[in-house]
Structure 1
Amino acid sequence: MDSLTAWLTKVRSLLAPSLLHCLICGKTSRPAAGLHGICAVCEEAIPWIRHPRCQKCGRHVGCPDCSRSGEAVPIVCNRSAVAYTSVMREILGQYKYRGNEQLAPLLGSMLDRAYIQLKAERERRQQGIAEFQKAQRVFTSPIFRGKQSASNQRWQADLLVPVPVSEARLVERGFNQAERLADVLSGFRGIPQLPLLVRTHHTSKQSFKHRAERIADMKHAFAGNPDVEVLLQFEVWLETLGKRTRPLQIVIVDDIYTTGSTIRACAGTIRTLCDRYGKAAEIYSLTWARS
Protein backbone atom coordinates (compact mmCIF):
# COMPACT_ATOMS: atom_id res chain seq x y z
CA MET A 1 0.00 0.00 0.00
CA ASP A 2 2.84 2.38 0.87
CA SER A 3 4.46 1.75 -2.51
CA LEU A 4 1.12 2.39 -4.26
CA THR A 5 0.67 5.66 -2.36
CA ALA A 6 4.18 6.75 -3.27
CA TRP A 7 3.55 5.85 -6.91
CA LEU A 8 0.28 7.81 -7.01
CA THR A 9 1.99 10.83 -5.41
CA LYS A 10 4.68 10.72 -8.06
CA VAL A 11 2.12 10.50 -10.86
CA ARG A 12 0.18 13.47 -9.46
CA SER A 13 3.37 15.55 -9.29
CA LEU A 14 4.13 14.74 -12.91
CA LEU A 15 0.62 15.61 -14.06
CA ALA A 16 0.33 18.79 -11.98
CA PRO A 17 1.46 22.03 -13.66
CA SER A 18 5.05 22.94 -12.79
CA LEU A 19 5.60 26.03 -10.66
CA LEU A 20 8.36 28.59 -10.83
CA HIS A 21 9.77 31.49 -8.84
CA CYS A 22 8.68 34.49 -10.90
CA LEU A 23 11.44 36.97 -11.82
CA ILE A 24 8.97 39.87 -11.68
CA CYS A 25 6.72 39.39 -8.64
CA GLY A 26 8.94 36.92 -6.77
CA LYS A 27 6.06 34.53 -6.08
CA THR A 28 6.01 30.80 -6.76
CA SER A 29 3.28 30.35 -9.30
CA ARG A 30 2.17 28.84 -12.61
CA PRO A 31 4.64 29.71 -15.40
CA ALA A 32 3.75 31.97 -18.30
CA ALA A 33 2.96 30.37 -21.62
CA GLY A 34 4.93 32.73 -23.84
CA LEU A 35 7.80 34.10 -21.74
CA HIS A 36 10.38 32.14 -19.79
CA GLY A 37 11.03 32.96 -16.14
CA ILE A 38 7.82 34.72 -15.16
CA CYS A 39 4.39 33.64 -13.96
CA ALA A 40 1.17 33.68 -15.96
CA VAL A 41 -0.27 36.55 -13.89
CA CYS A 42 2.69 38.83 -14.59
CA GLU A 43 2.67 37.90 -18.27
CA GLU A 44 -0.99 38.87 -18.49
CA ALA A 45 -0.21 42.28 -16.96
CA ILE A 46 2.59 43.23 -19.40
CA PRO A 47 1.61 46.49 -21.18
CA TRP A 48 2.53 45.42 -24.73
CA ILE A 49 2.47 48.10 -27.43
CA ARG A 50 0.57 46.20 -30.10
CA HIS A 51 -0.81 49.17 -32.03
CA PRO A 52 1.54 52.19 -31.96
CA ARG A 53 -0.35 55.45 -32.25
CA CYS A 54 2.67 57.31 -33.62
CA GLN A 55 4.04 55.46 -36.63
CA LYS A 56 7.39 57.26 -36.37
CA CYS A 57 8.46 56.81 -32.73
CA GLY A 58 6.15 53.93 -31.83
CA ARG A 59 4.45 55.72 -28.96
CA HIS A 60 1.22 54.13 -27.74
CA VAL A 61 -0.49 57.41 -26.80
CA GLY A 62 -0.71 60.86 -28.40
CA CYS A 63 2.73 62.05 -29.49
CA PRO A 64 3.39 65.81 -29.74
CA ASP A 65 7.16 65.35 -30.18
CA CYS A 66 7.14 63.92 -33.72
CA SER A 67 4.42 66.27 -34.99
CA ARG A 68 5.88 69.52 -33.64
CA SER A 69 9.49 68.93 -34.68
CA GLY A 70 10.42 70.30 -38.08
CA GLU A 71 13.81 68.59 -38.10
CA ALA A 72 14.56 65.67 -40.38
CA VAL A 73 14.60 62.41 -38.42
CA PRO A 74 17.53 60.10 -39.29
CA ILE A 75 15.60 56.90 -38.52
CA VAL A 76 12.78 55.29 -40.47
CA CYS A 77 10.92 54.48 -37.25
CA ASN A 78 11.22 53.17 -33.71
CA ARG A 79 9.30 50.28 -32.24
CA SER A 80 9.15 49.43 -28.55
CA ALA A 81 7.92 46.28 -26.86
CA VAL A 82 6.15 47.75 -23.82
CA ALA A 83 4.83 50.98 -22.35
CA TYR A 84 7.01 52.33 -19.56
CA THR A 85 4.60 51.88 -16.66
CA SER A 86 5.59 51.88 -12.99
CA VAL A 87 5.84 48.07 -13.04
CA MET A 88 8.08 48.12 -16.11
CA ARG A 89 10.18 50.86 -14.51
CA GLU A 90 10.73 48.60 -11.49
CA ILE A 91 11.76 45.67 -13.71
CA LEU A 92 14.25 47.82 -15.62
CA GLY A 93 15.56 49.20 -12.34
CA GLN A 94 16.22 45.69 -11.03
CA TYR A 95 18.13 44.83 -14.20
CA LYS A 96 19.90 48.08 -14.98
CA TYR A 97 20.72 49.55 -11.56
CA ARG A 98 20.56 46.62 -9.13
CA GLY A 99 22.41 44.15 -11.32
CA ASN A 100 19.76 41.42 -11.63
CA GLU A 101 21.24 39.96 -14.81
CA GLN A 102 18.81 37.01 -14.72
CA LEU A 103 16.36 39.44 -16.32
CA ALA A 104 18.44 39.85 -19.51
CA PRO A 105 16.97 36.83 -21.37
CA LEU A 106 13.45 37.89 -20.37
CA LEU A 107 13.88 41.50 -21.51
CA GLY A 108 15.58 40.32 -24.69
CA SER A 109 12.71 37.97 -25.52
CA MET A 110 10.28 40.84 -24.90
CA LEU A 111 12.31 43.02 -27.26
CA ASP A 112 11.99 40.27 -29.85
CA ARG A 113 8.24 40.96 -29.91
CA ALA A 114 9.02 44.50 -31.06
CA TYR A 115 11.29 43.12 -33.79
CA ILE A 116 8.52 40.79 -34.98
CA GLN A 117 6.17 43.76 -35.16
CA LEU A 118 8.68 45.88 -37.08
CA LYS A 119 9.36 43.04 -39.52
CA ALA A 120 5.64 42.48 -40.14
CA GLU A 121 5.04 46.20 -40.73
CA ARG A 122 7.90 46.52 -43.21
CA GLU A 123 6.77 43.42 -45.10
CA ARG A 124 3.21 44.71 -45.31
CA ARG A 125 4.54 47.98 -46.67
CA GLN A 126 6.70 46.20 -49.25
CA GLN A 127 3.73 44.04 -50.22
CA GLY A 128 1.62 47.15 -50.73
CA ILE A 129 4.28 48.79 -52.87
CA ALA A 130 4.62 45.63 -54.99
CA GLU A 131 0.87 45.43 -55.52
CA PHE A 132 0.69 49.11 -56.46
CA GLN A 133 3.53 48.76 -58.96
CA LYS A 134 1.91 45.69 -60.43
CA ALA A 135 -1.38 47.56 -60.79
CA GLN A 136 0.45 50.40 -62.54
CA ARG A 137 2.11 47.88 -64.86
CA VAL A 138 5.57 49.04 -63.84
CA PHE A 139 6.93 45.50 -63.70
CA THR A 140 6.89 44.42 -67.33
CA SER A 141 10.24 42.66 -67.41
CA PRO A 142 10.39 38.91 -66.59
CA ILE A 143 13.12 39.65 -64.06
CA PHE A 144 10.48 41.01 -61.68
CA ARG A 145 8.15 38.04 -61.89
CA GLY A 146 7.70 34.95 -59.79
CA LYS A 147 10.12 34.19 -56.95
CA GLN A 148 12.09 37.40 -57.32
CA SER A 149 9.00 39.46 -56.53
CA ALA A 150 8.15 37.32 -53.49
CA SER A 151 11.66 37.58 -52.05
CA ASN A 152 11.51 41.37 -52.30
CA GLN A 153 8.59 41.33 -49.88
CA ARG A 154 10.57 39.70 -47.07
CA TRP A 155 12.35 42.01 -44.66
CA GLN A 156 15.15 41.29 -42.23
CA ALA A 157 17.54 43.50 -40.32
CA ASP A 158 21.13 43.21 -41.50
CA LEU A 159 22.90 44.50 -38.40
CA LEU A 160 22.16 45.37 -34.77
CA VAL A 161 24.03 48.28 -33.15
CA PRO A 162 23.67 48.73 -29.37
CA VAL A 163 23.68 52.20 -27.87
CA PRO A 164 27.00 52.52 -26.01
CA VAL A 165 27.45 53.61 -22.40
CA SER A 166 30.29 55.72 -21.06
CA GLU A 167 33.26 54.17 -19.29
CA ALA A 168 32.02 55.62 -16.00
CA ARG A 169 28.59 54.04 -16.47
CA LEU A 170 30.15 50.73 -17.52
CA VAL A 171 32.25 50.65 -14.34
CA GLU A 172 29.21 51.59 -12.25
CA ARG A 173 26.90 48.89 -13.68
CA GLY A 174 29.40 46.30 -14.83
CA PHE A 175 27.67 45.82 -18.19
CA ASN A 176 26.00 47.64 -21.06
CA GLN A 177 22.29 46.83 -20.87
CA ALA A 178 21.67 47.69 -24.54
CA GLU A 179 24.46 45.38 -25.65
CA ARG A 180 23.01 42.51 -23.60
CA LEU A 181 19.59 43.06 -25.18
CA ALA A 182 21.17 43.10 -28.63
CA ASP A 183 22.99 39.84 -27.80
CA VAL A 184 19.70 38.11 -26.96
CA LEU A 185 17.96 39.42 -30.07
CA SER A 186 20.96 38.44 -32.18
CA GLY A 187 20.74 34.90 -30.82
CA PHE A 188 17.01 34.70 -31.56
CA ARG A 189 17.19 36.06 -35.10
CA GLY A 190 20.69 35.24 -36.28
CA ILE A 191 21.40 38.92 -36.95
CA PRO A 192 25.00 40.03 -36.28
CA GLN A 193 25.59 42.82 -33.81
CA LEU A 194 28.56 45.16 -33.70
CA PRO A 195 29.51 47.91 -31.21
CA LEU A 196 29.99 50.48 -33.97
CA LEU A 197 29.58 53.44 -31.61
CA VAL A 198 31.33 54.89 -28.56
CA ARG A 199 30.39 57.71 -26.21
CA THR A 200 32.58 60.76 -26.62
CA HIS A 201 31.77 62.06 -23.14
CA HIS A 202 29.94 61.03 -20.00
CA THR A 203 26.42 62.43 -19.61
CA SER A 204 24.47 62.62 -16.38
CA LYS A 205 21.31 60.54 -16.02
CA GLN A 206 18.79 61.54 -18.68
CA SER A 207 15.78 60.60 -16.54
CA PHE A 208 16.26 63.76 -14.45
CA LYS A 209 16.27 66.13 -17.44
CA HIS A 210 13.68 67.94 -19.52
CA ARG A 211 13.31 67.22 -23.23
CA ALA A 212 15.32 70.27 -24.37
CA GLU A 213 18.14 69.40 -21.96
CA ARG A 214 18.30 65.83 -23.24
CA ILE A 215 18.46 66.93 -26.86
CA ALA A 216 21.26 69.41 -26.12
CA ASP A 217 23.09 66.82 -24.01
CA MET A 218 23.11 64.24 -26.81
CA LYS A 219 24.60 66.49 -29.48
CA HIS A 220 28.02 65.13 -30.41
CA ALA A 221 27.72 62.51 -27.64
CA PHE A 222 28.60 59.62 -29.98
CA ALA A 223 31.32 58.78 -32.47
CA GLY A 224 32.33 55.82 -34.57
CA ASN A 225 34.18 53.15 -32.62
CA PRO A 226 37.91 53.69 -33.33
CA ASP A 227 38.77 50.11 -32.32
CA VAL A 228 40.65 48.55 -35.26
CA GLU A 229 39.16 45.10 -34.65
CA VAL A 230 35.59 46.43 -34.68
CA LEU A 231 36.21 48.36 -37.90
CA LEU A 232 37.76 45.29 -39.49
CA GLN A 233 34.72 43.22 -38.50
CA PHE A 234 32.49 45.88 -40.05
CA GLU A 235 34.47 45.86 -43.29
CA VAL A 236 34.41 42.05 -43.46
CA TRP A 237 30.68 42.11 -42.82
CA LEU A 238 30.18 44.60 -45.66
CA GLU A 239 32.16 42.32 -47.98
CA THR A 240 29.90 39.38 -47.16
CA LEU A 241 26.92 41.35 -48.47
CA GLY A 242 28.45 41.51 -51.93
CA LYS A 243 27.22 43.99 -54.53
CA ARG A 244 23.75 44.33 -53.12
CA THR A 245 21.84 47.33 -54.42
CA ARG A 246 19.29 47.82 -51.65
CA PRO A 247 20.18 49.93 -48.58
CA LEU A 248 21.58 48.31 -45.46
CA GLN A 249 18.90 47.66 -42.84
CA ILE A 250 20.54 48.71 -39.56
CA VAL A 251 18.72 48.57 -36.20
CA ILE A 252 19.85 50.52 -33.14
CA VAL A 253 19.05 48.75 -29.87
CA ASP A 254 18.44 50.44 -26.51
CA ASP A 255 16.47 49.84 -23.32
CA ILE A 256 14.12 52.85 -23.37
CA TYR A 257 12.98 55.53 -25.80
CA THR A 258 12.05 58.83 -24.14
CA THR A 259 12.62 61.88 -26.34
CA GLY A 260 14.51 59.99 -29.04
CA SER A 261 17.55 62.28 -28.72
CA THR A 262 19.88 59.36 -27.99
CA ILE A 263 18.58 57.31 -30.92
CA ARG A 264 18.78 60.26 -33.33
CA ALA A 265 22.35 61.06 -32.30
CA CYS A 266 23.38 57.42 -32.78
CA ALA A 267 21.62 57.23 -36.14
CA GLY A 268 23.39 60.33 -37.40
CA THR A 269 26.78 58.87 -36.51
CA ILE A 270 25.96 55.52 -38.14
CA ARG A 271 24.82 57.28 -41.31
CA THR A 272 28.11 59.20 -41.44
CA LEU A 273 30.02 55.93 -41.03
CA CYS A 274 28.04 54.25 -43.82
CA ASP A 275 28.60 57.24 -46.10
CA ARG A 276 32.32 56.88 -45.51
CA TYR A 277 32.12 53.36 -46.95
CA GLY A 278 29.83 54.45 -49.79
CA LYS A 279 26.86 52.49 -48.44
CA ALA A 280 23.26 53.65 -48.30
CA ALA A 281 21.47 52.68 -45.09
CA GLU A 282 17.95 52.65 -43.70
CA ILE A 283 18.22 53.01 -39.94
CA TYR A 284 15.60 51.81 -37.45
CA SER A 285 15.56 51.48 -33.67
CA LEU A 286 14.16 48.94 -31.25
CA THR A 287 13.78 49.68 -27.57
CA TRP A 288 12.41 47.54 -24.78
CA ALA A 289 10.18 50.33 -23.47
CA ARG A 290 8.57 53.56 -24.72
CA SER A 291 7.92 56.23 -22.12
Structure 2
Amino acid sequence: MREWLGQYKYRGNERYAPLLGLMLDRAYLTLKEEKQQGALLSQKASFFHLIQHKRYIKNSLWSADLLVPVPVSDTRLLERGFNQAERLADVLSRHRKIPQLPLLFRTHHTGKQSFKGRAERLADMKNAFGANPAVSTLFKDWLKDNSPISRPIRIIIVDDIYTTGSTIRACAEILKQMVSNYDYAAEIYSLTWARS
Protein backbone atom coordinates (compact mmCIF):
# COMPACT_ATOMS: atom_id res chain seq x y z
CA MET A 1 0.00 0.00 0.00
CA ARG A 2 2.88 2.34 0.80
CA GLU A 3 4.39 1.71 -2.63
CA TRP A 4 1.06 2.28 -4.40
CA LEU A 5 0.47 5.52 -2.51
CA GLY A 6 4.01 6.66 -3.32
CA GLN A 7 3.50 5.92 -7.00
CA TYR A 8 0.16 7.70 -7.03
CA LYS A 9 0.72 10.67 -4.78
CA TYR A 10 4.42 11.49 -5.05
CA ARG A 11 5.37 10.18 -8.49
CA GLY A 12 2.22 11.37 -10.26
CA ASN A 13 1.19 7.95 -11.53
CA GLU A 14 -2.50 8.76 -11.92
CA ARG A 15 -3.28 5.30 -13.31
CA TYR A 16 -3.58 4.20 -9.68
CA ALA A 17 -6.58 6.48 -9.07
CA PRO A 18 -9.27 4.04 -10.36
CA LEU A 19 -7.85 1.14 -8.35
CA LEU A 20 -7.45 3.15 -5.15
CA GLY A 21 -10.87 4.71 -5.71
CA LEU A 22 -12.47 1.26 -5.97
CA MET A 23 -10.77 0.28 -2.73
CA LEU A 24 -12.19 3.43 -1.14
CA ASP A 25 -15.59 2.45 -2.52
CA ARG A 26 -15.35 -0.84 -0.60
CA ALA A 27 -14.62 1.14 2.56
CA TYR A 28 -17.70 3.27 1.86
CA LEU A 29 -19.84 0.14 1.56
CA THR A 30 -18.50 -1.05 4.92
CA LEU A 31 -19.38 2.30 6.51
CA LYS A 32 -22.84 2.19 4.94
CA GLU A 33 -23.45 -1.34 6.19
CA GLU A 34 -22.35 -0.44 9.73
CA LYS A 35 -24.62 2.60 9.82
CA GLN A 36 -27.59 0.65 8.44
CA GLN A 37 -27.11 -2.17 10.97
CA GLY A 38 -26.89 0.37 13.79
CA ALA A 39 -30.10 2.04 12.62
CA LEU A 40 -31.93 -1.28 12.39
CA LEU A 41 -30.81 -2.34 15.87
CA SER A 42 -32.02 0.90 17.43
CA GLN A 43 -35.30 0.63 15.54
CA LYS A 44 -35.87 -2.97 16.66
CA ALA A 45 -35.63 -1.77 20.23
CA SER A 46 -38.58 0.52 19.64
CA PHE A 47 -41.99 -0.65 20.85
CA PHE A 48 -43.68 0.61 17.69
CA HIS A 49 -41.33 -0.94 15.16
CA LEU A 50 -43.84 -3.58 14.10
CA ILE A 51 -46.54 -1.01 13.43
CA GLN A 52 -44.27 1.28 11.45
CA HIS A 53 -42.01 -1.39 9.92
CA LYS A 54 -42.14 -0.04 6.37
CA ARG A 55 -41.14 3.44 7.48
CA TYR A 56 -38.24 2.05 9.54
CA ILE A 57 -36.91 -0.02 6.66
CA LYS A 58 -37.03 3.01 4.37
CA ASN A 59 -35.27 5.27 6.90
CA SER A 60 -32.60 2.66 7.68
CA LEU A 61 -31.15 2.82 4.17
CA TRP A 62 -28.18 4.96 5.13
CA SER A 63 -26.18 6.80 2.51
CA ALA A 64 -24.01 9.88 2.35
CA ASP A 65 -25.47 13.09 0.97
CA LEU A 66 -22.25 14.81 -0.06
CA LEU A 67 -18.54 14.11 -0.55
CA VAL A 68 -15.96 16.77 0.25
CA PRO A 69 -12.32 16.08 -0.71
CA VAL A 70 -9.53 17.44 1.45
CA PRO A 71 -7.99 20.30 -0.54
CA VAL A 72 -4.30 20.65 -1.29
CA SER A 73 -2.39 23.90 -1.32
CA ASP A 74 -1.62 25.71 -4.57
CA THR A 75 2.04 24.76 -4.09
CA ARG A 76 1.18 21.08 -3.77
CA LEU A 77 -1.23 21.25 -6.71
CA LEU A 78 1.50 22.72 -8.92
CA GLU A 79 3.97 20.12 -7.70
CA ARG A 80 1.69 17.11 -8.24
CA GLY A 81 -0.57 18.38 -10.98
CA PHE A 82 -3.69 16.98 -9.26
CA ASN A 83 -5.42 16.65 -5.90
CA GLN A 84 -5.22 12.96 -4.97
CA ALA A 85 -8.18 13.15 -2.55
CA GLU A 86 -10.34 14.80 -5.19
CA ARG A 87 -9.54 12.03 -7.69
CA LEU A 88 -10.45 9.35 -5.15
CA ALA A 89 -13.69 11.18 -4.37
CA ASP A 90 -14.42 11.32 -8.13
CA VAL A 91 -14.38 7.53 -8.33
CA LEU A 92 -16.63 7.17 -5.28
CA SER A 93 -18.97 9.89 -6.57
CA ARG A 94 -19.42 8.14 -9.91
CA HIS A 95 -19.93 4.68 -8.38
CA ARG A 96 -22.38 5.72 -5.68
CA LYS A 97 -24.04 8.72 -7.38
CA ILE A 98 -23.10 10.95 -4.43
CA PRO A 99 -22.40 14.56 -5.37
CA GLN A 100 -18.99 16.02 -4.65
CA LEU A 101 -18.40 19.68 -3.82
CA PRO A 102 -15.04 21.35 -3.13
CA LEU A 103 -16.39 23.20 -0.09
CA LEU A 104 -12.95 23.75 1.42
CA PHE A 105 -9.71 25.41 0.40
CA ARG A 106 -6.25 25.52 1.96
CA THR A 107 -5.58 28.89 3.51
CA HIS A 108 -1.82 28.30 3.49
CA HIS A 109 0.77 25.72 2.53
CA THR A 110 1.63 23.46 5.47
CA GLY A 111 4.49 21.37 4.09
CA LYS A 112 4.55 17.59 3.97
CA GLN A 113 2.83 16.19 7.03
CA SER A 114 4.48 12.78 6.64
CA PHE A 115 7.76 14.20 8.00
CA LYS A 116 6.20 15.76 11.10
CA GLY A 117 5.30 14.49 14.54
CA ARG A 118 1.83 14.60 16.06
CA ALA A 119 2.27 17.95 17.83
CA GLU A 120 3.62 19.61 14.67
CA ARG A 121 0.74 18.25 12.59
CA LEU A 122 -1.85 19.49 15.05
CA ALA A 123 -0.27 22.95 15.12
CA ASP A 124 0.02 23.03 11.32
CA MET A 125 -3.65 22.22 10.80
CA LYS A 126 -4.90 25.09 12.95
CA ASN A 127 -6.56 27.50 10.52
CA ALA A 128 -5.18 25.56 7.53
CA PHE A 129 -8.62 25.34 5.90
CA GLY A 130 -11.41 27.74 5.08
CA ALA A 131 -14.81 27.75 3.42
CA ASN A 132 -14.39 27.92 -0.34
CA PRO A 133 -16.11 31.18 -1.40
CA ALA A 134 -16.18 30.02 -5.03
CA VAL A 135 -18.84 27.41 -4.23
CA SER A 136 -20.81 29.11 -1.44
CA THR A 137 -23.79 29.94 -3.68
CA LEU A 138 -23.70 26.46 -5.21
CA PHE A 139 -23.65 24.93 -1.72
CA LYS A 140 -26.54 27.10 -0.55
CA ASP A 141 -28.60 26.02 -3.58
CA TRP A 142 -27.63 22.39 -3.05
CA LEU A 143 -28.79 22.58 0.58
CA LYS A 144 -32.16 23.99 -0.42
CA ASP A 145 -32.70 21.33 -3.07
CA ASN A 146 -31.23 18.27 -1.35
CA SER A 147 -31.23 18.59 2.41
CA PRO A 148 -33.20 15.92 4.26
CA ILE A 149 -36.07 17.20 6.39
CA SER A 150 -35.91 14.80 9.32
CA ARG A 151 -32.17 14.25 9.79
CA PRO A 152 -28.81 15.99 9.60
CA ILE A 153 -26.94 16.22 6.30
CA ARG A 154 -24.40 13.40 5.99
CA ILE A 155 -21.07 14.69 4.69
CA ILE A 156 -18.04 12.49 4.07
CA ILE A 157 -14.60 14.07 4.03
CA VAL A 158 -12.41 12.13 1.59
CA ASP A 159 -8.63 11.89 1.88
CA ASP A 160 -5.92 9.47 0.87
CA ILE A 161 -4.33 8.72 4.24
CA TYR A 162 -5.25 9.13 7.90
CA THR A 163 -2.37 9.63 10.31
CA THR A 164 -3.27 11.70 13.38
CA GLY A 165 -6.71 12.86 12.32
CA SER A 166 -5.68 16.52 12.54
CA THR A 167 -6.52 17.19 8.89
CA ILE A 168 -9.93 15.54 9.14
CA ARG A 169 -10.76 17.36 12.39
CA ALA A 170 -9.76 20.73 10.94
CA CYS A 171 -11.89 20.13 7.84
CA ALA A 172 -14.84 18.90 9.92
CA GLU A 173 -14.84 22.05 12.05
CA ILE A 174 -15.13 24.26 8.98
CA LEU A 175 -17.85 22.09 7.42
CA LYS A 176 -19.96 22.06 10.59
CA GLN A 177 -19.72 25.83 10.77
CA MET A 178 -20.66 26.20 7.09
CA VAL A 179 -23.73 23.99 7.47
CA SER A 180 -24.84 25.68 10.69
CA ASN A 181 -24.53 29.09 8.98
CA TYR A 182 -27.48 27.99 6.84
CA ASP A 183 -29.41 26.64 9.88
CA TYR A 184 -28.88 22.98 9.08
CA ALA A 185 -27.29 20.21 11.13
CA ALA A 186 -24.59 17.89 9.83
CA GLU A 187 -23.12 14.48 10.56
CA ILE A 188 -19.51 14.53 9.43
CA TYR A 189 -17.72 11.30 8.53
CA SER A 190 -14.30 10.63 7.06
CA LEU A 191 -13.23 8.07 4.54
CA THR A 192 -9.57 7.49 3.77
CA TRP A 193 -7.83 4.97 1.60
CA ALA A 194 -5.21 4.07 4.20
CA ARG A 195 -4.25 4.63 7.80
CA SER A 196 -0.66 5.27 8.81
Give TM-score, length-normalised by structure 2: 0.96
Cα distance change, pair 121–242 in 1 and its aligned pair in 2 (3 A): closer
Write the distance in 1 (CA, Å) between the matches of 2:84 and 2:147: 32
Distance 1:242-1:201 versus aligned 2 partners, 3 A rule? closer
Mapping of residues 58-97 of structure 1, within 5 Å:
88-97=1-10
What residue in structure 1 maps to residue 100 of structure 2?
A: 193
Higher relative contact order, chain-length normalized (CA < 8 Å, sep 6+): 2
Measured after TM superposition, the shift of residue 110 of structure 1 is: 0.5
Q: What value does the CA root-mean-square deviation take over the aligned residues?
A: 1.4
Give 1:240 shift.
Answer: 1.5
Match 2:165 to one of 260, 272, 283: 260
- Choose which of 124, 148, 152 in structure 1 pairs with 2:59: 152
Q: 1:245 to 1:208 in 2, by over 3 A?
A: same
Shift of 1:129: 0.5
Picking from 111, 117, 137, the partner of 1:232 is 137
* In 1: Cα distance, 2:81 partner to 2:117 partner: 27
Whether contact under 8 Å (2:43, 2:49) holds in the other structure is no
Identity %, equivalent residues: 63
User: CA offsets, 1:86-125, max 9 Å, x none?
Assistant: xx11111111111111111000000001101000000010
Using the alignment, how far apart are the partners of 1:89 and 1:213 within structure 2?
22
In the alignment, which of 130, 138, 146 is matched to residue 43 of structure 2?
A: 130
Asked if the contact 2:107–2:129 (Cα under 8 Å) also holds between the matched residues in 1, the reply is yes
Alignment of 1:1-291 (within 5 A): 88-133=1-46, 137=47, 139=48, 145-227=52-134, 230-241=135-146, 244-291=149-196
The unaligned stretches of length 5 or more in structure 1 are: 1-87
2 CA distance for matches of 1:158 and 1:221? 25
Letter in 2 for 1:98: R
Q: Determine which structure has the larger helix proportion and give its number.
A: 2
Distance 2:132 2:102 in 1: 7
Residue identity matched to 1:281: A
**Cα distance in 1 between the residues matched to 2:98 and 2:125:** 27
Find runs of 4+ consecutive structure 1 residues off by over 6 angstroms.
none
Cα separation, 1, equivalents of 2:56 and 2:4 = 43
Cα deviation, residue 231, structure 1: 1.6
- Equivalent residue, structure 2, for 1:81: none
Shift, 1:141, TM fit: 10
The one-letter amino acid paired with 1:118 is L
Deviation at 1:146, TM superposition (A): 3.3
Q: Deviations over 1:137-181 (max 9, x none)?
A: 2x3896xx1321111111000000000000000000000000000
Where structure 2 has 5 or more consecutive residues not aligned to the other structure, the ranges are: none
Letter of the aligned partner of 2:59 in structure 1?
Answer: N
| CA shift in 2, pair 1:113/1:289, >3 Å | same
- Aligned to 2:154, what secondary structure does the other structure show? strand
Alpha-carbon separation, structure 2, partners of 1:110 and 1:151: 27
With over 3 angstroms needed to count, the CA separation of the structure-2 counterparts of 1:211 and 1:141, relative to structure 1, is same
User: How far, CA to CA, are the matches of 1:132 and 1:184 in structure 2?
Assistant: 37
